[in-house]
Homo-oligomer: A and B are copies of this chain.
Amino acid sequence: MVRKACSAAPNVLSPQCPTRMVLDLIADKWTTLVIYLLSQGTRRYGELQREVGGISQKMLTQTLRKLEHDGLVKRVVYPEVPPRTEYSLTELGTTLREPLGALCKWAVEHLPDVEKARKAGARQRARASEALSA
């Protein structure tokens, strides 16, 4: 495991730990979706809004701006009329595909387990107390 990431103690719990940053990065409902889409190729603003489905312009713009600010997404504006803006992953942005992919892979593989646990959870919870006293 990655230790000395933080100052002295390998503490993920301190806010300045890089782990925290990743969370801020992906712990956003939309961010991951946008990255996913862009990992498939360059998109225009409108395309993204249409494809993500359910996202408001506010959120899309906000997400895009954050991503751009973090150097993960490249924004190219063509000073034309009508306006055209194209978004794409930067070099850095593409490096996120793998770890993100690993996570998705986990989801696909373990989804059944989680669903099973969710269903069993309700029943099991009811008998939890009695099981312990036995």
Copies per complex of this chain: 2
Residues in B neighbouring A5, C-beta threshold 8 A: 104, 107-108
Q: Once bound together, how far apart are the Cα atoms of A10 and B71, in whole Å?
A: 27
Q: Do B77 and A132 touch across chains, with their CB atoms under 8 A apart?
A: yes
| Cα distance, A98 to B107, chains bound together (Å) | 12
Contact with B along A100-119 (1 / 0, CB 8 A): 11111111101101101110
Known: A23-B29, A71-B121, A114-B70. A12 touches B92 (CB 8 A): no
Q: Tell me if B99 and A103 are in contact (CB < 8 A).
A: yes
Main secondary structure on chain A at its contact with chain B?
Answer: helix
Known A19-B32, A101-B2, A133-B79; contact A71-B118, beta-carbon cutoff 8 A: yes
| Cβ of A13 under 8 Å from chain B | yes
* A interface with B by C-beta (< 8 Å): 1-2, 5, 10, 12-15, 18-19, 21-23, 25-29, 32-33, 36-37, 51-54, 68-72, 77-79, 92, 95-96, 98-108, 110-111, 113-114, 116-118, 120-121, 128, 132-133
